[in-house]
Structure 1
């Protein structure tokens, strides 16, 4: 009511009197105009004030930042560390070296705990490793078969020799190239699958064992290692599919070893112990292998030798031990036959090293017609797939002979510097078949 009364009073006072001249005769129009202008001014001021508040508000709200590049790669598991599939360790993590490096540098700068970016870190050094080895990690897939992987299979060993020649303190890399290259030689023979199955020498080897067993007293045959009896009685059942399966198993183990051990070598080359310590903090390597690198970093022959044993132990007894078990047990008795055949023909091309059948020949004794009779064979008394006996051979002959070579630097440089392809050609199994058959006929001995 007050508001309305005031409005009417203002209206009455401002109305001009009839017939008289008033000094305020223009006042009503002026006031109306001023009132209207004032209203507009106040409205404009309110709009300006609101706009100013909005501007100030927007400038005080923090700008949204893009998520760090490494965020998508934190806490990821390693799902392809065993080499069974193509590509890297986890498909979420890229294979582009520059992208990996940028994400890794950012994670380090933000002081992210290394164990959270372990897979990113491992994959970065794996990509560096394959780049230096001229291997295409994206297409390195053992499941694709021999033809697709044959070049990569050999480049792995070429790279071991590259590391050993460029860094003489890397004794394990030298041993991996020499001993692994011996497996590569056999792999080449298996690569021509159809031809190998038709080679008379392969058949003669199995037939020679079978003939010798038939001429051996039953009491001794029963004590002959089962692998020798399988070679004689079941070897003829080997098929193209069996050999292809075995080749794939070898290629998986080869990639597993490379994936585990080569990246730490590249990290040490690039960053020294700082690179190794980061891998240890991330959980990529354990305390034992970190100690191996500390021994290498001591730059003493004794340290190099100790590191060689530790790295070889990691390779054989942790990285691929389960895979050898699975291979040996695969495809019924075929797995045992194939792994034993690898043992028979697998003489590492290392100066002074003994063939497995010479290092540990199968010798048995039995009571035959009331007297003790012994059988000594030129065949190994162990299967390379079996952990304990494999390790006995490695530490009893292979590693000591490699140490002997490495402790003679001029000789080591000459031997390791020889072309891998020359080593490969000398180790071809086909070339050793006549020697093996000769051993069968001259060293299979029965006596007291």
Structure 2
């Protein structure tokens, strides 16, 4: 019943919401769902998960749109060659042993990117669409229940084993009126989203076709740029670093402008969320609500389009180059 109420309030026709189709067909529902998220935050200060999800949804949805359009499929051979060149040059310049410092995702791109087919892209896009709907079904029904009936309704969901003990405690924190508990409760809701709702689905994406999936998830990490104020692009967080001996220069620290991690791995994703995304959003919600509200009321198509990797290639390339550094160790 709550799911029907959510989709009705969102303006979504639940009967035609099929993540097994294409992003082009699901995009209107995605935008309506993320607007619904944002409205919860605009009307209820404590519902920070919803505001954050509404903003970040544009980043990931727009990235998947570019993927589905296939416009960058023609660049995949070049991406594979570039990755192989990076690996080769690191080995030639700093020694073969230093190649071990390079992430497996980069090697997957080097080996598999030029073998990715439109069917592979379609499979990957559909998995992400399944994730988006799964999050909505789980989290929005809880949010609507909380807004309509408060903790009484949430306790009924807990008694019916729809939510677990940790999620019940999270909602008690959200409803507490205490800023520290509100932040903690929203963090636990975010963990439920990332671990319970989509954790296994991201693992399936990364494990797809013996390296093809890992190439796609690593490229997603390379291109991702959350819209929350102050949060770095995924590629700028924990870049590849290693120390090596260079002839004539001695111990040298090398940093490459590529990520050492993969968003699809829960433990690595959660490190980024808890050290960057969550604290910065919480700070903005508490200390700069006017700026946050401007984002939350920006037309969603505008947010979506300004996040598209296709429109941000110069910025992506610039940040990759600027993050590459070589200096004497110490």
Tell me the TM-score normalized by structure 1.
0.68
Aligned to 1:143: 20
Alignment of 1:32-431 (within 5 A): 124-193=1-70, 195-198=71-74, 205-217=79-91, 218-366=96-244, 372-408=251-287, 409-431=289-311
**SS of equivalent to 1:414:** helix
Deviations 1:210-254 (A, max 9, x none): 333332232322331111122233212121111111100101111
- Aligned in 2, Cα 1:296/1:155: closer, same or farther, shift over 3 Å? same
- Aligned in 2, Cα 1:230/1:373: closer, same or farther, shift over 3 Å? farther
> Relative contact order (alpha carbons < 8 A, sep ≥ 6): 1 or 2 greater?
2
Structure 1: state its 5+ residue gaps. 1-123
Measure the CA separation in 1 of the matches of 2:8 and 2:163: 21
Name the structure with the higher helix share: 2
Aligned residue pair count? 322
- Aligned in 2, Cα 1:356/1:325: closer, same or farther, shift over 3 Å? same
Q: Higher Cα Rg: structure 1 or 2?
A: 1
The CA deviation at 1:138 is 1.5
The CA deviation at 1:358 is 1.8
Tell me if the contact between 2:80 and 2:112 (Cα under 8 Å) persists in the aligned partners: no
Tell me if the contact between 1:347 and 1:355 (Cα under 8 Å) persists in the aligned partners: yes
The CA deviation at 1:424 is 1.0
Tell me if the contact between 1:219 and 1:367 (Cα under 8 Å) persists in the aligned partners: no
The CA deviation at 1:441 is 4.1
Measure the CA separation in 1 of the matches of 2:291 and 2:23: 34
- Aligned in 2, Cα 1:438/1:414: closer, same or farther, shift over 3 Å? closer
Measure the CA separation in 2 of the matches of 1:173 and 1:270: 16
Tell me the TM-score normalized by structure 2.
0.90
